[in-house]
Amino acid sequence: MKSVLKDLLKQYFLPRWIVLLYDLSVMGSLFIFATYLIVNFSAEKVNLHNIYSQIVVGAIVFFVVYLFIKPHHNIIRHTTLKGFSSIVVAHTIGSTCLFVISIIGRNVPGYAQYAIPYSVIIIHYFISVFILLTSRLFIKAIYHYLFLKPESVQNTMIFGAGRLGMIAYDVLERENNLNYNVVGFIDDNPRLHGKSINGIRVYSADEAVDHILAKKRVKEIIIAIGSWEISRDRKQNFVNSCLEKGLQIKEVADVSAWLKGSLEKVKIQNIKIEDLLGREPISIDINKISDGLNGKRILVTGAAGSIGSEIVRKLLLFNPRKVVLVDIAESALYDFHNELLANFGKINVEIVVGNVSDQIRMRSIFETHRPEIVFHASAYKHVPLMEEHPYEAVKTNIGGTKVVADLSVEFGVKKFVMISTDKAVNPTNVMGASKRICEIYVQSLSQLKGIKTQFVTTRFGNVLGSNGSVVPLFKSQIDKGGPVTITHKDITRYFMTIPEACQLVLEAGFMGNGSDIYVFDMGSPVKIYDLAEKMIFLSGFIPHKDIKIVITGLRPGEKLYEELLSSKEYCKPTNNEKITIGKVRQYDHYEANSKITEMLENLGYEPDEMIVARMKDMVEEYVSQNSKYEKLDLKIAELEYRKIS
């Protein structure tokens, strides 16, 4: 019998019309019962003609009310408090209509058969509501008994007792296959503490963490609160408290679907580490950015990369005349262009496959499109790879920047914005040194008299979710069951989300008159070891038990910590508290240009050691770390090179 019921409940939903007929038949039967009840079931005291007339009228009334209130639209096995309340509302309206009909029957000649006794209406109201609610609860209980095994049910608390929390609760109640048993709400609103919602108590975060979680054997917390209702710091502190208790943390995705009333799209997912590491939404000067971009021809190099692509997405919001996307990665460029067409529709975007270090190709692009603004995001960024291949770092990072910057001057580009990195500060590796030389060249170029192009450099740290960054690497390693690899237990890094970084790039691009290095507020540095542990926890595993963390040792050129300013630099504030101007040493353009030109001209003939030695000669603060180039300087390299030659 149990298996038959299980198969029926699993495969079939009762059609709405059957539920409607059931409800109407129950109400009709109970109307007759209430009529006989008030006369102590004495048949001779009952006027059958009147009862039939009253049942017909009552059925029509409740049928119309049901069509408007729709209590029969709810799936019985998933009925929630909202479904129960719809039954109460429908019967309250229906019974009120019966009272009106009864009054008419008593006072209008010819309608006496509709004078329903008031006591019948009252008794019928309470009994019918009770029976219909009880029958739904019974079916729901049967379904829970058949499909939810006690050992598979997970005690859960919902963080957020507002609108989103209620929707989350409804979803968990409806989707029984999720096997959640909600035992409490957590909310920061003190007016809700101690109260109950749907019969479930609301606790403060402190009370829940200190006592309730253990008492109720809670295994998982579901965060159901909008980003506009809670600060990132508060969310991060709460998550950290829960992780210390060994709890799994999840959150509800696609809040926009809820706001549109589409519960079918709501999903519960593991919380994203990006939501915890990022900071509060950044306030930017939209008017200034809009004035600078509206109707302009814009060229973006490295347009298919993590930063370049996000810059393009944001640029298109400001109605530029044309955006030219330049990248050497043709597949990534093709995919990105298709994404833009799908999301923005008809847009004036040109995709160009080209290498920024190819002067002939880049000149052709400038001649064809005549850009007014250039965002230079093209660069090699992987520290270990560039340490092994300094030729490529110099050719693309330095050579490419020089080509694009020189062409910007030649073709009268109004604004040139270069994307730099915190690794350019006191560099310990080839990649960082190459970016510092890019900074030097761009700044020195802006010092020349008669230059109309405004050169702006933006400097920030690691970007969450960018290609090759640590977060996607850890996610991939966790998905494979580990181990998660870290180069050093004490290594720290600054982090910023991609949208956040690109917002600041746009604002910095239209600050002042150019020639400055704009340094972004990166918040507090994050210990990578702690980040790895947190990501393992958030993925539903226990660090060091389910997934191991392995220390592999610092890679060539890798720092324990990054800086945004060198010891010889200082910052001055801007109108945006998230952006400061780094006051750095000024370089003579002719000296910088001479050294860079010599470096590029000899690039194909000199060994790696000589290439790196030239970089060290140009960047005095460049000190190789954990690298084969540690004891290298230009004089020694030149002597060795002459011996080989």
Say whether pLDDT at 255 is over 60: no
Q: Beta 248-253 vs 200-203: how paired, if at all?
A: unpaired
- The region that residue 423 occupies, defined by phi over 0 for left and psi between -120 and 50 for alpha, beta otherwise, is alpha
Which residue did the predictor score with more confidence, 431 or 66? 431
pTM score, two decimals?
0.68
Say whether pLDDT at 152 is over 60: no
Name 324's bridge partners: 299, 350
- Of 225, 221, 208, 214, give the one whose Cα is nearest residue 270: 221
Whether 150-271 and 286-618 share one fold: the answer is yes
> What's 150-271's CATH class?
alpha beta
Instruction: Annotate 300-368 with DSSP letters as a single string.
Output: EETTTSHHHHHHHHHHGGG--SEEEEEES-HHHHHHHHHHHHHHH-S--EEEEE--TT-HHHHHHHHHH
Cα gap 149→75, rounded to integer Å: 21
Task: Tell me the pLDDT band of 395, cut-offs 50, 70 and 90.
Answer: very high
Q: What is the pLDDT of residues 351-372, one digit of tens each?
A: 999 999 999 999 999 999 999 9
Architecture in CATH for domain 286-618: 3-Layer(aba) Sandwich (3.40)
In the prediction, which pLDDT does 593 show?
92
Cα gap 463→520, rounded to integer Å: 12
- Of 156, 58, 136, give the one whose Cα is nearest residue 98: 58
Mean of pLDDT values over 240-261: 68
Contacts for 107 with CB less than 8 Å, ≥ 6 apart: none
DSSP-based helix, strand, coil % in the chain, nearest 5: 55, 15, 35
Say whether pLDDT at 341 is over 60: yes
Long-range contacts of 328-337 (CB under 8 A, 24+ apart): 328/353, 328/354, 328/355, 328/356, 328/378, 329/304, 329/305, 332/304, 332/305, 333/303, 333/304, 335/304, 336/303, 336/304, 336/309, 336/312
Look up residue 400 and give its amino acid. G
In the prediction, which pLDDT does 259 show?
47
Contact indicator for 560, 490 with CB cutoff of 8 Å: yes
Positions marked catalytic: 423
Q: Among 147-156, 266-275, 401-410, 479-488, name the most confident range.
A: 401-410
Cα gap 495→189, rounded to integer Å: 31
Mean of pLDDT values over 400-414: 94
Contacts for 100 with CB less than 8 Å, ≥ 6 apart: none
Task: Tell me the pLDDT band of 263, cut-offs 50, 70 and 90.
Answer: very low
- Of 537, 79, 36, 505, give the one whose Cα is nearest residue 271: 537
In the prediction, which pLDDT does 220 show?
85
Is the sign of the CA dihedral 425, 427, 429, 432 positive or negative? positive
Q: Could you tell me where the DSSP H helices lie in 539-607?
A: 589-601
Report residue 173 as tokens. 């109640």
Residue 350 has φ and ψ, to the nearest 5°, of -115, 130
Lowest mean pLDDT among 122-136, 375-389, 414-428: 122-136
In the prediction, which pLDDT does 633 show?
65
Contact indicator for 24, 62 with CB cutoff of 8 Å: yes
Say whether pLDDT at 403 is over 90: yes
Q: Where are the domains of the chain?
A: 2-147, 150-271, 286-618
Say whether pLDDT at 207 is over 50: yes
Q: What count of other Cβ atoms lies within 10 Å of the Cβ of residue 52?
A: 12
In the prediction, which pLDDT does 502 show?
83
